[in-house]
Amino acid sequence: GSTDDGTYSSIESSIQSLTSDRDALAAKIRSALNAAAFDGTPIDEKSAKQWISQAHGLIEQAASLASS
């Protein structure tokens, strides 16, 4: 029915948003790892902790989607 279509669209939109957020976070981490590996640039601890927190948030959002 239309409720199923609406639910599907809502979940699909949420997945696209999560994917976009994940890709943006992964790009930041990849850049920092490349700079550390190839340029000797230390990874900032504050940034690393923020990235970990953001990753946990994305995992929690994905888990809540899966259980809805």
Query: How many Å apart are CA 68 and CA 43, to the nearest integer?
Result: 37
pTM: 0.84
- Picking from 26, 32, 12, the residue whose alpha carbon sits closest to that of residue 54 is 26
Q: Contact at 8 Å (CB) between 12 and 62?
A: no
pLDDT tens digits, one per residue of 7-51: 889 889 999 999 999 999 999 999 999 999 999 999 999 999 999
Query: How many Å apart are CA 27 and CA 25, to the nearest integer?
Result: 5
AA letter at 26: A
AA letter at 31: S
